[in-house]
């Protein structure tokens, strides 16, 4: 599965304005809720509940907030870039700049884990992260991901 199989270009936010974790989650959730026809407040609530279990800020400037939803029938992925960085309670206590938000159907554990693994693997590439951070807009971000999204 490729990232671009589930990343909707309308869910790419090239310049997040939020300065805290809750704000980033709300901002990223907005286009995904619209695309999925879901209630945004419900989406944010589920994502924040997941964060209470442990931060999805994995360190290295990366956050991958995610959650599962009964009413969803397909995986959806959003992307956000914070130019200034946000305190996302990351494992390394450093600001988070790159966000992938994943929402999945409740019964899709296998696909959910495959996509999380794929995103994590790609984000271990420092050049990829650097190119994402230098991208000026959603089209450039989409292009950077497309250039690095080969199946393996």
Of the residues 21, 66, 97, 112, only one is catalytic, namely: 66
The continuous run of DSSP H or E covering 119 comes out as: helix 109-122
Q: Nearest Cα to 68, choosing from 60, 76, 59? A: 76
66 counts as catalytic: yes
The continuous run of DSSP H or E covering 132 comes out as: helix 126-134
State the number of CA atoms in the 13 A half-sphere of 76 facing the CB: 27
Say how far apart CA 57 and CA 50 lie, in whole Å: 12
User: Which positions are catalytic?
Assistant: 66
């Amino acid at each position: 599965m490729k990232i671009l199989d589930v990343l909707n270009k309308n869910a790419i936010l090239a310049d997040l304005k939020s300065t805290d974790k809750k704000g980033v989650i709300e901002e990223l959730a907005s286009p995904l809720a619209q695309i999925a026809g879901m209630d945004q407040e419900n989406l944010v609530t589920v994502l924040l509940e997941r964060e209470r279990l442990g931060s999805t800020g994995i360190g290295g400037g990366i956050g991958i907030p995610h959650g599962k939803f009964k009413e969803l029938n397909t995986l959806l992925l959003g992307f956000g870039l914070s130019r200034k960085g946000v305190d996302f309670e990351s494992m390394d206590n450093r600001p988070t700049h790159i966000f992938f938000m994943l929402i999945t159907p409740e019964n899709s554990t296998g696909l959910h884990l495959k996509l999380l693994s794929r995103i994590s693997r790609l984000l271990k590439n420092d050049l990829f992260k650097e190119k994402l951070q230098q991208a000026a807009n959603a089209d450039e971000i989409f292009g950077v991901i497309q250039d690095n999204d080969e199946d393996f």
